[in-house]
Amino acid sequence: MELYQVQILAFAALICCTSSAYGWGVDGHLITCRLAQPRLSKATADAVSQLLPAYADDDLGSVCSWADQVRFRYRWSSALHYIDTPDNLCSYLYKRDCKDEDGIQDRCVAGAIYNYTNQLLSYGNGNSQYNLTEALLFLSHFIGDIHQPLHVGFTSDKGGNTIDVDWYTTKTVLHHVWDVSIIETAEERFYDSNVDELINKLQTNITTVWANQAKAWEACSKTACPDAYATEGIKAACDWAYKGVSNSSVLEDDYFLSRYPVVNMRLAQGGVRLAATLNRIFG
Ligand SMILES: *[C@@H]1O[C@H](CO)[C@@H](O)[C@H](O)[C@H]1NC(C)=O
Ligand SMILES: *[C@@H]1O[C@H](CO)[C@@H](O)[C@H](O)[C@H]1NC(C)=O
Ligand SMILES: *[C@@H]1O[C@H](CO)[C@@H](O)[C@H](O)[C@H]1NC(C)=O
Ligand SMILES: *[C@@H]1O[C@H](CO)[C@@H](O)[C@H](O)[C@H]1NC(C)=O
Ligand SMILES: [Zn+2]
């Protein structure tokens, strides 16, 4: 093969497969981090600013998908983006479910959130043994992922990755519908394909129609509360994502119009909780 052909193939692979199976797509993560950053306290914003790589230019949103970009280089990290729960049980238990395919405990998105929270708690203690820049980028990404309902999905269908569906006229898999398609269709249909407008609407709703709920979303008696988010996630997966879908279902307006409010809520919760978690860490 000619070099340029290899490059085209590599580029096509990048486009087709960047977001599948690894959590919200780029926009979902951008939205979560953009919602979170204005909610940081002064002390937290200072710490985040210290830890962000220079190229991020103080914008957490710009590096919120870093964890997906390094998933091949850091092969060990790929199990940290999701949780597989037993088929059809619609429940989550840390001890039972938080492990990777080899059965190694703690290797799931909830375990990763605890791990990187603990690492970041050493910020300011002189020389941490960890790379706290990476810890911040992983934590910001994983709090987004755990809010994608199919990131806490069933084991045998890999969180909807083996369920083939048509999204309107496009062939894809159910997992990708929740990572990307619902958000993309909402952006096109309601926001002029402008992600910033969606972010503004979510921001407004957090301070108006969701103001009371948002207080409850923040509540956590520890520093990080991923288990509560995972329990909500598998419930939403059963009640909304998997519901009424089988292999080769055609998903159109009925599905989109009833599900996009769920996606909006999960994005808002992710943003509010990422900010609250960082505020608890850096106080
Ligand atoms: C915890 O973080 C370290 C450093 O990135 C990593 O090597 C380890 O695999 C992580 N473990 C979990 C469960 O997140
Ligand atoms: C920490 O991680 C970032 C991102 O991978 C990297 O650019 C940086 O060089 C690392 N810092 C140290 C001190 O290793
Ligand atoms: C759906 O059908 C495809 C193609 O026949 C198959 O590979 C896949 O395993 C099926 N998925 C499920 C969840 O049955
Ligand atoms: C904001 O709230 C209104 C009123 O409940 C709702 O109609 C709209 O879809 C919400 N928008 C977003 C982006 O959550
Ligand atoms: Zn991910």
What's residue 118's pLDDT? 97
What average pLDDT is seen over the chain?
93
Does residue 131's CB lie within 6 angstroms of at least one atom of ligand 2? yes
Listed as ranges, residues in the chain with pLDDT below 50 are 1-20
- Write the residue with the smallest CA distance to atom 11 of ligand 2: 131
pLDDT, residue 138, reads: 98
- The single-letter code of the amino acid at 270 is G
What is the per-residue burial (b if ≥16 Cβ within 10 Å, else e) of 68-86? beebeeeeebbbbbbbbbe
74 lines ligand 2 (CB under 6 A): no
pLDDT the model gives residue 72: 92
Q: Are strands 83-85 and 152-154 parallel, antiparallel or unpaired?
A: parallel
Contact 273, 214 (CB under 8 A): no
Percentage of the residues of the chain whose pLDDT score is greater than 90: 89
Tell me if 202 CB under 6 Å of ligand 4. Answer: yes
Looking at residue 23, its pLDDT comes to 75
Distance, CA 113 to ligand 1 centroid (Å)?
10
Report the separation in Å between the CA atom of 80 and the middle of ligand 1, taken as the mean of its atom positions: 9
